[in-house]
Amino acid sequence: MPSRKARQQKSRNATTEPAPTCFLCERPMGRKIERHHPVPKSRGGRETAPVHPICHRTIHAALDNKSLERNFASAEALRAHPDIATFITWVRDKDPDFHVPTRQRKRK
């Protein structure tokens, strides 16, 4: 079985497939692609979607798994969350490989 990196590279090189876009911000994907479980794996989720590392970190910094499962399993719901909407506006014009450290979720 080909490595994960080889599968990602093959999918990027395929001329018949459109370039993947990020589940969260909808920008084209860069060199590094992570997979997000819209319904967390710990809550029985199996499907995944491609996301930028910075987008993936933002999702998990803003929301816990219980919230993701109950209220934010769709991209539309995530984009409507105030903190994530602000992030998307900020990251919209950045390069697909842009990355900076992400703040940790505020613990209650």
Cα–Cα nearest to 94, from 30, 23, 13 = 30
Note the pTM of the prediction, 2 decimals.
0.76
pLDDT band at 60 (very low <50, low <70, confident <90, very high): very high
Greater pLDDT, 92 or 2: 92
Q: Please say if the pLDDT value at position 54 is more than 70.
A: yes
Greater pLDDT, 7 or 20: 20
Q: Please say if the pLDDT value at position 78 is more than 80.
A: yes
The predicted pLDDT at position 105 comes to: 59
For the residues 39-46, what does the mean pLDDT come to?
A: 92
Q: CA–CA separation, 79 vs 2, rounded Å?
A: 34
Q: Please say if the pLDDT value at position 17 is more than 90.
A: no
